[in-house]
Amino acid sequence: MNVELIELSVVLILVAVPWVAVLQQWQRGIDLALLFMPFAGAVQLWLYPAHWAVLIKDILFIIPAYIGFAMSGELGPTLRGVPKLFGAWVLLFVGIVLVQALNPAGPGLVAALIGLKVWLFYVPVFLLGIAYVRDQASLLRLSRLMIGLIWLPCGVGILQWLLSLAIGYRAAIEMFYGAAAVAATQEFTRFQSVGLMRIPSTFSFATQYLDYLLCMFVPVLGCAGLEHNRFWKKLRAVSLPMICVAGFMTGERSAFVMIPIMLAVFYLLRRGLTGVLWVGVLVAAALMVALPISGIDPANLLQMESNLTDQYSGTQAGEIENALHLTWIGRGVGFSTGAVRDAGGDSGGTPLFEGYYAKAVAELGIAGCIFTIAFQLALIILALRARSYFRGTDLEPYCDAIAALAVICLVYSYKGPIMSLDPPISQYWLFAGILFSLPRVARQEAVTHAGDFSAARNWPRYGDGLLQPSESPNAFISAKETRA
Q: What is the pLDDT of residue 168?
A: 93
Q: What is the pLDDT of residue 88?
A: 92
Q: What is the pLDDT of residue 450?
A: 53
469: cis peptide before it, omega within 30°? no
Domain residue ranges in the chain: 1-73
Q: What is the pLDDT of residue 343?
A: 57
CA 108: distance to chain centroid?
Answer: 29
Rounded mean pLDDT for each run of 10 residues along the chain, 484 residues in total: 68 85 95 94 84 89 96 90 91 94 84 90 96 94 96 95 93 92 88 86 93 97 92 94 92 90 92 83 83 81 75 69 80 80 55 83 91 94 91 92 96 87 94 94 72 43 39 39 37
Q: What is the pLDDT of residue 411?
A: 92
pLDDT 10s digits, 373-419: 999 999 999 999 998 888 888 999 999 999 999 999 999 998 888 88
What is the model's pTM? 0.89
Q: What is the pLDDT of residue 418?
A: 87
Q: What is the pLDDT of residue 473?
A: 36
Q: What is the pLDDT of residue 311?
A: 64
Q: What is the pLDDT of residue 434?
A: 96
Q: What is the pLDDT of residue 208?
A: 93
